[in-house]
Amino acid sequence: MIEVEQFEQHFWAKNEWGSSMPSRRKTIKTLAGAGAVVGLLPTRWTKPALESIVLPAHAQTSDAVNLPPVGESFTVDAFADSAIIVDVGPRVSDPEGDPITLTIVDSGVLGGGLSIDSVSLSSAFEIQVSVNNGSGEIFVDYQLNDGMSDSPVYRITITNLDGPFAKK
């Protein structure tokens, strides 16, 4: 057993930097005593293999993942013989509040005697479909982008009913 005076003298001895604070190694050795634990400690502390890690700027500033914008597929009934305007705005959003861009991906006729003359964006979230006279079903597929990621493709099914404004 180490005597109290020897312990204090050994514990508070000056280290290699001239400080009287004990080093961690000395403290561990002293506390461990002369038992088997001291034999397990290395004779020299070694430098760690990896001193630092450099992360890309975006990894340092944020751990959030950008989620894609969200829209929905839906059906619209229309009574038209020329232009049908569908407002998609209330049905789209972005989880982070990023600005959204809408792109028309595809369009076509699903059935009936209706034909499509053109499909275009009349404003940021309004899709205008120009149709020939007749009734039937058409579709417009759209996709959203928030500047970082694309949404899935959503489908708008437009049923043009043979109503009072349809040409006969």
Stretches in the chain below the pLDDT threshold 50: 163-168
pLDDT at 161: 77
- Between 4-11 and 24-32, two packed helices, what is the crossing angle to 10 degrees? 160
One-letter amino acid at 151 equals: S
Instruction: Provide the edge-to-edge strand list for the sheet that holds 101-112.
Output: 74-78, 154-160, 136-145, 101-112
> What whole-number distance in Å separates Cα of residue 101 and Cα of residue 87?
14
pLDDT of residue 134: 76
In degrees and rounded to multiples of 5, residue 45 shows phi and psi of -75, 140
pLDDT at 116: 86
Per-domain residue ranges of the chain: 4-46, 74-160
Chain center to CA of 23: 47
Q: Tell me if 69 sits within 8 A of 92, measured CB to CB.
A: yes
Residue range 67-92, pLDDT digits in tens: 999 999 999 998 877 788 999 999 99
The CATH code of the domain at 74-160 is 2.60.40
> Quick count: other Cβ atoms within 10 Å of Cβ 6?
11
| DSSP annotation of 70 | B
Q: What is the pLDDT of residue 135?
A: 83
**How far apart are alpha carbons 140 and 155 in whole angstroms?**
6
pLDDT for res 7:
55
Which residue is listed with tokens 């959203």? Answer: 144
pTM: 0.59
